[in-house]
Amino acid sequence: MTAAQSSELDGFASRVLDVVDAIPPGRVMSYGDIAEYLGEGGPRQVGRVMAVWGGGVAWWRVIHSDGTPAPGHERRALAHYKQESTPLRTGKTKVTVDMRLARWTG
DNA sequence: GTGCTGACACAGG
DNA sequence: ACCTGTGCCAGCA
């Protein structure tokens, strides 16, 4: 099969996954940060990559700029955060990541 | 080619 | 903390 046919990792997707894999435990990066770090695409493109190929990397380390984890995986993400001692902000009705401390830039 | 949708970001309320 | 509107980029019918 050719490259165009298969849904293989594009250059962009490959780079995104590489960056996510480089994020150290206890740290996180926002979608926009990754896009800016790569200097290409945009936050939504990073989100799309994570939605399709994110299963092979530490997806819980990729969150919104607010500190809100990926939709549908909040519970699973929280478990990882506790496991990695990620800086958290425990609110009354929701728990988010403290971006001020957890935000990581290569 | 056109329009909608999406694991987003930012500003307001 | 939550919702709405606007801007941006790419995939898909």
Strand B closer than 7 Å to the CB of A61?
A: no
Distance CA A106, CA A99 (A): 15
pLDDT digits (tens, 9 = 90+) for A47-65: 999 999 998 999 999 999 9
Distance CA A32, CA A15 (A): 14
- Tell me the CA end-to-end span of chain A in Å, nearest whole number: 35
H or E element that contains A50: helix A43-53
Strand B closer than 7 Å to the CB of A57?
A: no
- pLDDT tier at A106 (50, 70, 90 boundaries)? confident
Nucleotides of B strand lying within 7 Å of any protein CB atom:
6-10
Cβ neighbours around A23 below 10 Å, total: 21
**What's the whole-model pTM score?**
0.89
Instruction: Round to a whole number and report the distance in Å from the CA of A48 to the C1' of B13.
Output: 30
> Given the structure tokens 């971006």, which residue do they identify?
A99
